[in-house]
């Protein structure tokens, strides 16, 4: 079993590698973090398969999110998510007040511009994990003051039946995953279809529409 | 609740995540670079960068003294493998001059769940890189390479370490 520090070091080297790649491709200003995100996705996708192997079936989406906030997060980031909020329409906000990859930075604003690099992997990790549980989503992160970080998960209901391996960048192969099986089950299909009547859009994204959900103790 | 009993083992999950993340990184590199030699070089350099920082952690944790000869260095390397990867490689095949030895292992967390394409990729190139980087920080210049690799069908993985020279303290170039 490997030590934690190796993971920390590897994480920063992956970011380093992505920076070099985007420099080589001639992007002087913009840093291409899609590689980091993708590596997170691939790792999240596979680790979720192992983690949930002997786990009872999740009741619903919220239950899945709670799993991410508690057990999943504790394993990887040594603490639970501090706050989970949702508008019950497919938008979840996970707030971590002391995010592992940001705790080593100065608390001020000095390095705030570099924060996106250190959250990209985790965005991918969450997205990959959810993709393996048949929840297709877009995960973005927001860092306002240093060690705390908010992850926004927008669940994409329209694609609920087929989760597709992303094909961003060069010629990353496209693989369909788990869900041919679910698609064939008419009952399952109906449930998803019933749910997908209210599409999520950004204007729903108002603070008063969120209700707090207590993470499981 | 039944879930409480099936808590995940954080240490194990972290280790698996490292393995999978490393695998994803290697895949990504292979997609971006056609030549697997380039990938080997990149992995080696990533390992080097990690080793340079890892040695600080190692020295802080083990409070070990300076090694006066390669046999002590070999012991320390073995200890580092145990500490960081929880594996116990054996040190064998000493050269008569005592400046060259092999680290042999048959299971490595990094190469779990790996099947290799037959294209000259050195999957674990991270490890020799890390050794080189770490030893350079304690003023030892060494060379590391794989003699045998399980992922290529050998019975064990054998890493050869060769002492080149002692690095002396010197004024950095261009600063005299």
d(CA A149, CA A115): 9
Cβ–Cβ below 8 Å for B2 and A56: yes
d(CA B17, CA B7): 17
Secondary structure in 3-state letters for B6-63: CCCCHHHHHHHHHHHHHHHHHHHHHHHCCCHHHHHHHHHHHHHHHHHHHHHHHHHHHC
Q: Count Cβ atoms within 10 A of the Cβ of residue A162 and give its class: 0-12 exposed, 13-18 middle, 19 or more buried.
A: middle
Q: Smallest CA–CA separation between B114 and chain A, in Å?
A: 13
B86-121 in b/e burial notation, b at 16+ Cβ within 10 A? Answer: ebebebeeeeeeeebbbbbbeebbbbeeeeeeeeeb
Torsion angle in degrees (nearest 10) through CA of B55, B59, B65, B66: 20
Question: What is the rounded end-to-end Cα distance, in angstroms, of chain B?
Answer: 70
- Long-range interactions of B1-5: CB distance < 8 A, separation 24+: B2/A56, B3/A55, B3/A56
d(CA A129, CA A163): 11
Q: Where are the beta strands (DSSP E) in A13-148?
A: 83-86, 91-96, 137-142
**Chain B contact set for A47 (CB, 8 A):** 13, 16-17, 20
B137-150 in b/e burial notation, b at 16+ Cβ within 10 A? Answer: bbebebebebeebb
Contact A173, A155 (CB under 8 A): no
What is the CB-side half-sphere exposure of residue A34 using CA atoms within 13 A?
10
**Chain A contact set for B42 (CB, 8 A):** 17
Q: What percent of chain B has pLDDT over 70?
A: 94
B11-52 pLDDT, tens digit each: 888 888 899 999 999 988 888 888 888 889 999 999 999 999
Pairing of strands B100-105, B157-166: antiparallel
Q: Count Cβ atoms within 10 A of the Cβ of residue A2 and give its class: 0-12 exposed, 13-18 middle, 19 or more buried.
A: buried
**Chain A contact set for B20 (CB, 8 A):** 42-43, 46-47
Q: Smallest CA–CA separation between B86 and chain A, in Å?
A: 5
**Chain B contact set for A15 (CB, 8 A):** none
**Chain A contact set for B19 (CB, 8 A):** 2
Q: Smallest CA–CA separation between B94 and chain A, in Å?
A: 28
Cβ–Cβ below 8 Å for B85 and A21: no
Residues of A near B (Cβ–Cβ under 8 Å) read 1-7, 9-11, 13-14, 16-17, 21, 35, 38-40, 42-43, 46-47, 50-51, 54-56, 71-72, 74-76, 78, 170-172
How high is the pLDDT of residue A214? 52
One digit per residue, the tens of pLDDT, for chain A of length 217 reads: 677 888 889 999 998 888 888 887 776 666 778 888 999 999 999 988 888 888 888 888 888 888 888 888 888 888 888 889 988 888 999 998 888 888 888 887 888 888 888 889 999 999 999 988 888 899 998 888 888 889 999 988 764 444 445 544 443 333 333 333 333 333 333 333 333 333 333 333 334 444 455 555 4
How high is the pLDDT of residue A1? 64
B132: part of which helix (H) or strand (E)? helix B126-136
d(CA A213, CA A129): 21
Contact A94, A84 (CB under 8 A): yes
Question: Could you tell me which residues come within 8 angstroms of residue A6 by beta carbon, excluding any fewer than 6 positions away?
Answer: B18, B50, B54, B84, B85
Q: What are the backbone angles phi and psi of residue B159, rounded to the nearest 5°?
A: -110, 125
Q: Smallest CA–CA separation between B33 and chain A, in Å?
A: 11
For residue B86, name the pLDDT band (cuts at 50, 70, 90).
confident
CB-nearest to B32 from A2, A3, A21 is A21
Residue A129's closest chain B neighbor by CA?
Answer: B17
How high is the pLDDT of residue A207? 41
């Amino acid at each position: 079993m490997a030590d934690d520090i190796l993971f920390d070091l590897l994480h920063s080297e992956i970011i380093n590698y992505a920076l070099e790649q985007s420099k080589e491709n001639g992007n002087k200003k913009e840093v291409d973090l899609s590689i980091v995100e993708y590596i997170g996705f691939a790792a999240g996708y596979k680790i979720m398969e192992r983690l949930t192997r002997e786990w009872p079936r999740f009741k619903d989406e919220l239950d899945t999110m709670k799993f991410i906030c508690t057990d999943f997060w504790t394993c990887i980031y040594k603490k639970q998510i501090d706050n989970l909020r949702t508008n019950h329409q497919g938008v979840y906000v996970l707030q971590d007040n002391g995010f592992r990859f940001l705790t080593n930075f100065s608390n001020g604003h000095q390095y705030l511009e570099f924060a996106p690099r250190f959250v990209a992997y985790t965005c991918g990790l969450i997205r990959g994990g959810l993709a393996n549980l048949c929840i297709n989503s877009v995960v973005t992160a927001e860092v306002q003051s240093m060690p705390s970080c908010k992850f926004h998960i927008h669940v994409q209901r329209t694609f609920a039946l087929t989760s597709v391996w992303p094909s961003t960048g060069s010629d990353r192969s496209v693989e369909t995953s788990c869900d041919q099986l679910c698609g064939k089950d008419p009952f399952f299909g109906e449930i998803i279809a019933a749910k997908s009547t209210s599409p999520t859009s950004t204007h729903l994204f108002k603070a008063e529409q969120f209700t707090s959900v207590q993470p499981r103790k | 609740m039944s879930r409480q009993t099936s808590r995940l083992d954080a240490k194990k999950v972290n280790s698996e995540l490292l393995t999978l993340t490393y695998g994803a990184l290697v895949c990504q590199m292979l997609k971006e670079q056609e030549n697997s030699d380039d990938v080997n070089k990149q992995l080696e350099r990533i390992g080097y960068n990690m080793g340079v920082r890892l040695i600080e952690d190692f020295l802080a944790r083990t409070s070990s003294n300076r090694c006066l000869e390669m046999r002590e260095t070999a012991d320390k390397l073995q200890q580092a493998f145990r500490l960081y990867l929880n594996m116990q490689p054996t040190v064998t095949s000493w050269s008569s001059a005592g400046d060259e030895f092999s680290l042999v292992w048959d299971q490595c967390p990094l190469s779990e769940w790996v099947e290799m394409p037959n294209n000259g990729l050195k999957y674990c190139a991270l490890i020799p890189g890390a050794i080189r980087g770490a030893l350079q920080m304690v003023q030892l210049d060494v060379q590391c390479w794989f003699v045998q690799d399980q992922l290529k069908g050998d019975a064990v993985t054998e890493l050869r370490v060769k002492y080149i020279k002692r690095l002396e303290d010197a004024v950095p170039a261009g600063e005299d």
